[in-house]
Structure 1
Amino acid sequence: MQISTPQFAAETQKKVESAVVRKGAGMGTRLLDQAFTFAFRGLVYAQIWEDPAVDMEALQIGPDSRVVAIASGGCNVLSYLVADPDRITAIDLNTAHVALNKLKLASARHLPDYALFRRFFAEADSKANIEAYKTFVARHLDETTRRYWEGRDLTGRRRINAFGKNIYKRGLLGNFIGIAHLLAKIYRIDLSRILAANSVEEQRAVFEAEMAPVFDRKFVRWLTEQPASLFGLGIPPAQFDALAGDQPMAEVLRRRLAKLACDFEVSDNYFAWQAFSRGYGRTPDCPLPPYLQAENWQTVRSRIDRVEVLHANMTEWLSSQADASLDRYVLLDAQDWMTDAQLDDLWRQITRTARSGARVLFRTAAEPSLLPGRVDDALLSRWTYHAEASLDYTRRDRSSIYGGVHLYELK
C-alpha cells in the first residue's frame, strides 16, 4: 500500500521557516531563505558531520549527565551512549531526521545481531536490509515513523528502499557530494586516490596535485559564490555569509577540503570516506562512527532506552523543562541561523535549565564564537568560554567543515 505523507514535509518546512527566514530582511533575502526551507523539507543528513570523539571529550559525559542534543542524522546521539550518560534527549525540526533517529533506535533494539545492524547502517545498500526491516523492525516503530519510511519521496521511491541502494547517496548532503563527484569526473580527478594513500604525506601530495587546482576553475569559482550551491551542506543563506566572510567561497572550501583530505589518516577518518567514496569503507578495519563499531555494539544496544527523540524546537522544549535539570547541550551549528533575539531566548533557557558545571558545545561556520556582543552580557557572563580548548577541538575535528568548535561551561 502506498502511503502519502505530504504533511511531514509541510510540518518540517513550517518549523524551519520560523528558524531560518529573516523576517526584517529584504524580499530577495527572504526568498532565498524560503528556498532553503523548501530544500530542507526532506532528508538532509543521512550521516551527521560533527566528530563525536571531539564531542565526548569536550562534554565530559558521565553517568549522571543529562544530555540534550540536536539530532541530525543520529550518529552522534547513539555514539554518546558509549560515554554512559544518564539520558539523552535528541531534538530536531526536520521530520526526516526524527524518523531516521527513531529507525536507528528501533534497529539497535530489535535487529538480532551486530552483523545485521552493521549491514543496515554501515553498508546501507543491500536488499537484505529491506527484508530485515520488514521482519525485525517495522512492527516496533510508532505509526508516524513507519508511515514515513513506508511512504514515498518526491520521485515516487519508497523511502525505506534507500537502505537497499546506499542511503548515503540520498538527501541534500548525499546529492551535494554526488555533484562534487560528477565535477571531479568531468575534470578527470580520481577521488579514490586519497583513500588509497598510505600516509598523510601521500594524501597531501594527491590533494595538491589533483584536487586543489579545481578551485581555480572559473566555473567552480562562480558556482561556489551562489548561496544555493551550498544548500546541500545544510547551510542556509545567513550561514553562507558567515562562512565566506570577506574571502571567495572557493578559497574557504579549498581550505576546508584540504583539512579533510590531508590532516588526518584516512584509516581513522570515516568523514573522508563519506566525502570521497559516498559511503563507509567495507573492510573490517575501516573507520566507523562509535555507534557502528563492533566493540561498542552491546554497549549501545543495552543503553538504547536512555535516548528519547522529539520533533521540536530546542528553545521551546527547554522552556518546558525544570530549572537546573540538564547539564550537557549540543547545538551543532544551529545558532548560525539565529537572530540576536533568538540567541538570547535560547541561552536564557539553557542558563535556567543548566545544572552546576553544565557544558554547551556548538560549531560555527566562521572561526570565532558568535555569542559575544549578540547574547545578553548578563547571561553570557555566567559562562566560561574555554578558548584554548576550543581551538584544540577545532583542530582535531575530523569532519573539517566548520570554522570553529566552541565549548562553554557554567561558572
Structure 2
Amino acid sequence: MKFSKPRILALSLLAAAVAAAALVPAELLAAQSKKVKKAAKAVVAKKAPGIDYTGEFVNFGQWKEVQQFLDDMVSKHGFERKELDAMLQQVRYVDAAVQLVKPAPPGKPKNWHAYSSRFIEPIRINAGVAFWNQHRDTLARAESQYGVPAEVIVGILGVETIYGRDTGRFRVMDVLTTLAFAYPLAPNREARMAFFRSELEATLLYARSTGSDPFALLGSYAGAVGLPQFMPGNIAKYAVDFDGDGKVDLRNSPGDAIGSVAAFLVGHGWQREQAGPLVYTARVSPSRAWEAYVNQGLEAKYRREDLSTAGVVTTSSLPEGMLYGLVDLQNGSDPTEYWVGTPNFYAITQYNRSYFYAMSVVELGRAVSLSRKEL
C-alpha cells in the first residue's frame, strides 16, 4: 500500500533528539570548568530542528496484520471489535518514529567518551542535585525498601528524562502502531515488530484497566512513558504507587517514578546484599586470553578466578562469592576501556541493554552525589 510521508528532514531527526536531550559534552570531573559552562550555554541557545510529532493518517485497518492483531485482542482479552475499529481510525503513522529507530550506519565505531559526554554534563548534574535534595526522603525510603541506592535511581532518571524535563511528546498509540506494523527494514525487523505489538497490546490493556484514554498517553518515539521512560508492558509489571495517592502516575509523580525504578531493578536481579562498587576498573594482559569473556551477554557469570586467570587485573580487590562480567567500552580510535561488572551493574543493563547506558547511569549518579557533597 502506498502512502505519502510527512515532510520532515529524516536524517536530522536523530541529531535533533540528541541535541534536545544530550546537550554539551563534558568529562565527569570537569563539570565545573568555565569552558564547559560556556559551551553548555551555547548549545542550549540553539534551536533544534522541528520533529513531526503528529504524523499523518494511514488506514491501518486495511492491513492484514492489523486485522489479525485486532482479532487477537478480541479473542484473548474480550475487547469489542467495533470499539477497536473506531479507535484505529484515530491512529496516525509517525514517520519520525521510523527514522529514529533505524540503526546507525554500519562501520561507524562506538565511542564511549562521545556517548557519555551527552549525559555526564553540567545541566544533568545540577538538575540531579536539585532533584535529590527535593526528594531525599522518598529516595531514602526507596533505598530502604528495595535496597537500590539513591545514586542509581537518580542516575537513571537523569539519563532518561533529565528528571522529567523531557518525557516525550509522541502519542504512544501512534508510535507503537507505526513500529508494530511498519518497522524499517533491519535484520531484526520481525522480532522488533513482535515487541512493539506486545507493547501496543499492553497499552490497550492499561487504558482499559485504568479507564483512561489511550490517546492521552504521551511518550518517546518508541512509546516509553514518564520520568523513568517505562514501556507500557513494564508499567503493568513494575510500576508502583510509591507516593500513596491510590494511583500510579509515572508522568507527574516523582515518587512513583522513584519507587518504580527501584522495583524494576529488583525485578531484574538487583541484589540488596551486594556491597562495594558496581564496577571495577581493570587492565587486560597482552595474552588476549580474556577475549573469550567479551560479548558474552548481559549477565555476570564468571568467578573472579576465571577473569584473573585470563589476564584481567582490577585496580582493587574483587569481593569473594560473587560472579562478574568483563565490560568493554570502545573509544573509537582510542584505546578501549575495560571494567569488571557486578550483578547489580548487569541489572542496570536490563533497563537499557547497553554497557554504555549502564555506565552512564553509574557515572551520572556518582557525579551528582559528589556535587551534593561539595555544596
Q: Which has the higher helix share?
A: 1
Structure with max Cα Rg: 2
- TM-score (norm: length of structure 1): 0.24
TM-score relative to the length of structure 2: 0.26
